[in-house]
Structure 1
Amino acid sequence: MAKHLVLVAGNIGAGKTTLTERIGARLGWWTGYESVTDNPYLSDFYGDMHAWSFHLQVFFLGHRADQYLEASRDSRSAILDRSIYEDAHIFARALHHMGNLGERDYLAYRRLFEVVVNGLPRPDLLIYLKAPVPVLMDRIRKRARNMETGITPDYLSLLDSFYSEWLGAFDLCPVLTIQTGDLDFAHHPDHLDLVVQRIQDKLAGKEVMDLTQK
């Protein structure tokens, strides 16, 4: 079987980690996850975003680049929870937009980002998980992570607008959009079956419609 690199993208609470876990287990793929518990900057960042935004973004850049290279060395196909491209086009942009990442640091980060990504393997598929902001807020509240207590609907809406702009110009690989508001691939095997089939068909080069309903 051909080896593939698949990225899972989407707003906070869209279901990226759950889908990555389920696809990895179902298909036997190598899985990579966002560094949260072992991230040395997160607590400082949430205490003072203006002071620590640049440090956090540089850490994530290096962490994700290492993931891509590790995935490329593994003989299995790989699926990654969040893409390196979102760090720059969504989150660093949002920090800059909100005044937490100054112009000088933002431009320095973007230059470093371009150098790093130019040396990474191109993905074979980007899976974009999308859900309405009220659904995202409900999921965030239910999982009750301390670091997410300050997330607001306005912030999620801002990220959502950045996702739309980014994906409108994204051309590195095919994109499969999955509306997750009515999907529960964690508890309904038939929902996961449907997603897996769409992914496999997309990787095979077939014409596949975005998944907008159960």
Structure 2
Amino acid sequence: MKYNFITIEGNIGAGKTTLAHLLAKRFNARLILEEFADNPFLPKFYENPQQYAFPLELFFMAERFKQLKELLQQKDLFQTVTISDYLFTKCLLFAKVNLPDDEFRLYQRLFDIIHQQLIQPDLLIYLHAPVKKLQENIRRRNRPYEQGIPNEYLFNIQETYTHYIKQHDIKTLFIDASNADFLSNDIHINVILDALSKDYDDGQHYLTLP
């Protein structure tokens, strides 16, 4: 294992949390999971995006910052690896999709101040799946407020993520998760484990699951 802090990212329904759980168990790692269910604005946002987008994104940013700041400052002699199922920068990426320009500019100023205070991951694992696959996963996990998410919204999130990663030269394992089944297919998880034993330069490194 070459990395001490790994972050897993991807669109809604890409399988981030499932993979994070499996890797944390395999490496006896400290696990940081996004506490999205605590956001009181999330169901309201899906019903009325224009009215609730700004408080939604502010709440997410504050909670993610608080969680990462506290957990990453703690030293654990028995868990030297940390795995998170979100990148703090997702605050900015979702805000870019959800907020009008004037609100986004204000939000970005706040984000820039906060972002500097956090440790950045050694490696980003990005799960990329087509919108059809995302919708199947969303239906399967059956969170009521997610069931009406339109394809266009998922596509916009996807485009925003991939553009950001390619523009910022982040050390990224970019995984085609079109047929990913990390729970039932040992070959898929073993491909990830093998990839984590290697060193990578900054930038994107593409991986396809068999």
TM-score range, shorter chain: 0.7 to 0.9
**In structure 2, what is the equivalent of residue 10 of structure 1?**
10
Superposition pairs of residues 1-214 of structure 1, within 5 angstroms: 4-69=4-69, 70-75=71-76, 76-89=80-93, 91-96=94-99, 102-171=100-169, 173-202=170-199, 209-214=205-210
May I ask how many residue pairs the two structures share in their alignment? 206
* Cα separation, 2, equivalents of 1:209 and 1:161: 18
SS of equivalent residue, structure 1 residue 120: coil
Q: SS of the residue aligned with 1:128?
A: strand
In the alignment, is the contact (CA less than 8 A) between 1:128 and 1:175 conserved in 2? Answer: yes
1:3 is displaced (CA, Å) by 6.5
- Inter-CA distance 155–68: structure 2 relative to 1 (3 Å threshold): same
Q: Measure the CA separation in 2 of the matches of 1:11 and 1:54.
A: 20
Q: Does the Cα contact within 8 Å between 1:31 and 1:78 map onto a contact in 2? A: yes
CA distance in 2, matches of 1:161, 1:193: 28
Range with greater deviation from structure 2 (37-46 or 146-155): 37-46
* In 1: Cα distance, 2:165 partner to 2:121 partner: 14
Name the aligned partner's letter for residue 212 of structure 1.
T
Q: Which residue of 2 is the match for residue 99 of structure 1?
A: none
Secondary structure at the counterpart of residue 25 of structure 1: helix
Q: Aligned partners of 1:39, 1:5: CA distance in 2, in Å?
A: 25
Contact 2:53 2:98 in 1 (8 A): yes
Q: Distance in 1 between matches of 2:75 and 2:148?
A: 38
Alignment CA distance shift 1:146-1:200 (3 Å): same
C-alpha distance in 2 between matches for 1:9 and 1:127: 6
| Structure 1 residue ranges, 4+ long, deviating more than 4 angstroms after superposition | none
Looking at structure 2, the residues matched to 14 and 120 of structure 1 have their Cα atoms a distance apart, in angstroms, of 25
Instruction: Evaluate the alpha carbon distance shift between residue 146 and residue 167 of structure 1 in structure 2; reply closer, same or farther with a 3 A threshold.
Output: same
SS of 1:201 mapped into structure 2: coil
CA–CA separation in structure 2 for the residues paired with 1:192 and 1:158: 28
Shift, 1:2, TM fit = 7.3
Q: Percent identity?
A: 31
Distance 1:22 1:31 in 2: 10
CA distance in 1, matches of 2:142, 2:27: 30
Q: Offset at 1:77?
A: 1.6
Alpha-carbon contact 1:176-1:202 (below 8 Å) kept = no
5+ residue gaps, structure 2: none
Q: Could you say if the C-alpha distance between residues 105 and 11 of structure 1 is closer, same or farther in structure 2, counting changes exceeding 3 Å?
A: same
